[in-house]
Amino acid sequence: MIRYPNGKAYKPLNTSSPSPKKLEASYSNRGMTLEDDLNETNEYYVSKGIAIVHKKPTPVQIVKVDYPKRSAAVIKEAYFKQASTTDYNGVYKGKHLDFEAKETRNKTSFPLRNFHEHQIEHMKQIVKQNGICFVILMFSTLQEIYLFEAQFLFPYWDAMKKDGRKSIPKADIEKKGHFMELGYHPRIDYIKTIDKLYF
């Protein structure tokens, strides 16, 4: 069992394996996730010397281990050492890149509950230091991916905290965000969008 720093048990949203039928209809008909595609994209950027971007590991403190055999250890209980910030960070053309990747099955809006307070605070700090900070939002049912700059996300978050709307309308994401087509190599070429926005 893995726990958060406050002791609350971590429960993944969906731990069951998709059935073969569901897998066929899944993302890009390949069973790939947004994270898989971003990791593949980042490997491409590093291999071509374009950018250095990595997924941040989440630090875990192991507290209970069983040793059923000398050659095997089974982790029985662990805690997240600290709340994680964003999923990815790195460097591109001398600028710090920092971003979060989120998916939704909704078709008309993006739920703000997908974000956490500490992630928003972290992104605000990055923007304050003139880093390049954004979120990659995927509408998985529609197979649409957008780069949405962090400074556009903050007003929606702040309004929600004051009992406002709890999601970002898709129409707003289409207007303020940047649609990204899926490619082959790289799969999600977000650097192309970053070039247009910042360089």
Q: Looking at residue 32, what is its pLDDT?
A: 63
State residue 76's pLDDT score.
Answer: 80
pLDDT of 65 reads: 84
Segment (H or E) for 169: strand 167-169
Q: Which pTM value belongs to this model? A: 0.75
Asked if the peptide bond before residue 186 counts as cis, ω within 30 degrees of 0, the response is yes
In terms of Cβ atoms closer than 10 Å to its own Cβ (0-12, 13-18, 19+), residue 145 is buried
Q: What is the C-alpha to C-alpha distance for residues 26 and 179, in angstroms, rounded to an integer?
A: 20
Q: What is the pLDDT along the chain (199 residues), one digit of tens a residue?
A: 666 555 666 665 544 444 443 333 333 344 468 999 999 999 999 999 999 999 987 666 777 888 877 778 888 877 655 566 899 999 999 999 999 999 999 999 999 999 999 999 999 999 999 999 999 999 999 999 999 999 999 999 999 999 999 999 999 999 999 999 999 889 999 999 999 999 9
pLDDT of residue 29: 40
Separation between Cα atoms, residue 60 and residue 193, nearest integer Å = 34
d(CA 60, CA 78): 7
Q: Is 193 annotated as a binding residue?
A: no
Any idea where the domains of the chain sit in the sequence?
29-57+84-198
At 63 the pLDDT is 78
Distance CA 16, CA 35 (A): 18
Give the pLDDT score at 24: 37
- Three-class secondary structure of residue 27 per DSSP: helix
pLDDT of residue 10: 61
What's the pLDDT score for residue 83? 60
Range 29-57+84-198 classified under CATH 3.30.1180.20: no
Residue 100 annotated as binding site: yes
Query: Angle formed by the axes of helices 150-161 and 117-128, to 10°?
Result: 140
87 is in an annotated binding site: yes
Whether 125 has a binding-site annotation, put simply, is: no
- Enter the tokens of residue 4: 């958060």
Could you tell me the end-to-end alpha-carbon distance of the chain, in angstroms, rounded to an integer? 45
Please state, in angstroms and rounded to a whole number, the distance separating the CA atoms of residues 96 and 181.
Answer: 24
Q: Whose CA is closest to 34, among 90, 83, 99? A: 99
